[in-house]
Amino acid sequence: MSIEHLINGQFQAGGTRQVAVFNPSTGATLCQLTLADSATVQLAIDAATAAFPAWRNTPPAKRTQVLFRFKQLLERNQERIAQLISLEHGKTLEDALGELKRGIENVEYACAAPELLKGEYSRNAGPAIDCWSDFQPLGVVAGITPFNFPAMVPLWMYPLAIACGNCFILKPSERDPSSTLLIAQLFNEAGLPKGVLNVVHGDKEAVDTLIQAPEVRALSFVGSTPVAEYIYAEGTKRGKRVQALGGAKNHAVVMPDADLDNAVNALMGAAFGSCGERCMAISVAVCVGDQVANALVQRLLPQIAALKIGPGTSAGLDMGPLVTAAHQAKVSGYVAAGVAEGAELLADGRGLQVPGHEQGFFLGGCLFDRVTPQMSIYTDEIFGPVLCVMRVDSLEQGIALINAHEYGNGTCIFTRDGESARVFADQIEVGMVGINVALPVPVAYHSFGGWKRSLFGDLHAYGPDGVRFYTRRKAITQRWPKGSSREATQFAFPSL
């Protein structure tokens, strides 16, 4: 099987360097992916540039009609898409369907383009003078996306960008490109004019070409913090608009008054769902008091032991494998480091064997207790099925701990006390906060973004911030001089 680029409405080859795409459940190579060279990326930029004038002038309601058909095609093909996600990423089919549904929400939001782009109007801003603000598209914009949500994260970006009148180049993750490509193909089948959405597979060379191209006006990035920081610095240096979402270390505070059974169930899903490969995964449980910590650990351990782990494409599982052998080795390395640093490893998922899938990249659930702030298992994003328990004496201590961490993507508090929840939501330096909700990923009509080193840029992804990101404002002031509304010469600055 070969996977090609989608440029100007057609599949085509381009580039010479190749990387393998794996089935993480078996370790087998599924295909070789050819990485786009600069010349191939330039073809996509040229196609998007050529498509822009007509797409910019297509009425938003017409653009929306394509989006409606796209949504229908996504729903009709959801099983096929979920299979592809699961095959290359390793997450379970239910999880893959869940991410696709959250992606479709963003298509639905983009269907409101005629309403979202209405602008603002003031009649009689001055004598016989009207003023309005227009939201105009930027032109050619690009998105660079991570492996962990091959359907949802690209859908955060291009449906809204395109609904706003832009043309788009997507550079998806090279580790699981097939579902992303199929979804883009469905958008074309829905009637998108050629060149409005292009997909190039690639790595740093492709990304650098997008950064350096003067035609590309804006970059949306989601991935790890070092790459986010690089793309933000290099993109903004060249005058581009950039939103670069990075890594995370998400804490859940468990208060002494929390409904512990609810907290344990929620934590299991948030820590181990998708094998911990979610930017909103909870990787630290901050327990207020030893009693809560001891009770939490006692309830987590049997649930971790009972995790159903196997190939994501099989039904009824809780967790699949990690995405690659290299990532499996990295996460296992952190588990070893945690032991060496003195944390108590209460559940050790290393060495897990799934019968019939001995070469798969599996790792069972891991639980550390008595983790301290200096340990690398606390400071670093592990991005695997590893939950750390930390112990503090008060909510204030918990808030101070979380606020001192370099990342600020998501967080959560488990409590029955409204005042604790209110103080936490107010004082925590994190962009997305859950109150008895472990994965507070905002719905499509609220924007998504972290604080601190989890996001570089001013505007969050999708929702109202997405509209702002993919448009630029133009303020127009008009007068139609006739009779008394004709202008008298005036040298003072115009004012009422």
* Residues with catalytic roles: 279
Q: What token pair was written down for 138?
A: 């930027």
Give the count of alpha carbons within 13 A of 203, CB side only: 11
**228 or 392: whose CB is closer to ligand NAD?**
228
Binding residue for ligand NAD (CB under 6 A) from 23, 188, 420, 454? Answer: 454
| Residue 203 lies near ligand NAD (rule: CB under 6 A) | yes
- Nearest distance from residue 367's CB to ligand NAD, in Å? 21
Degrees (nearest 5) of the Cα angle 249, 250, 255?
140
**147 or 378: whose CB is closer to ligand NAD?**
147
- CA–CA separation, 261 and 264 (whole Å): 5
- Nearest distance from residue 96's CB to ligand NAD, in Å? 15
Q: What token pair was written down for 242?
A: 């950039």
Binding residue for ligand NAD (CB under 6 A) from 137, 146, 150, 434? Answer: 146
| Residue 88 lies near ligand NAD (rule: CB under 6 A) | no
The one segment of 58-66, 102-110, 140-148, 310-318 that binds ligand NAD by CB under 6 A: 140-148
**52 or 147: whose CB is closer to ligand NAD?**
147
Binding residue for ligand NAD (CB under 6 A) from 48, 140, 207, 335? Answer: 207
| Residue 199 lies near ligand NAD (rule: CB under 6 A) | no
**174 or 465: whose CB is closer to ligand NAD?**
174
- Nearest distance from residue 407's CB to ligand NAD, in Å? 8
- CA–CA separation, 210 and 229 (whole Å): 16
Binding residue for ligand NAD (CB under 6 A) from 409, 411, 447, 471? Answer: 409
Q: What token pair was written down for 106?
A: 């963003």
Q: What token pair was written down for 48?
A: 């998007």
Q: Which of residues 237-256 bind ligand NAD (CB under 6 A)?
A: 245-248
Q: What is the DSSP letter of 386?
A: E
Q: What interhelical angle do 260-272 and 290-305 show, nearest 10?
A: 50
* Three-class secondary structure of residue 409 per DSSP: coil
β-strand partners of 7: 10
* CA 404 to chain centroid: 23
Q: 10 Å Cβ neighbour count for 89?
A: 30
- The amino acid occupying position 32 is Q
Q: Which of residues 159-178 bind ligand NAD (CB under 6 A)?
A: 171, 173-174
Residue of 211, 131, 134, 210 whose CA lies nearest to 165: 134
- Nearest distance from residue 461's CB to ligand NAD, in Å? 7
| List of residues contacting ligand NAD (CB under 6 A) | 144-149, 153, 171, 173-174, 203-204, 207, 222-224, 227, 245-248, 279, 381, 383, 409, 450, 454
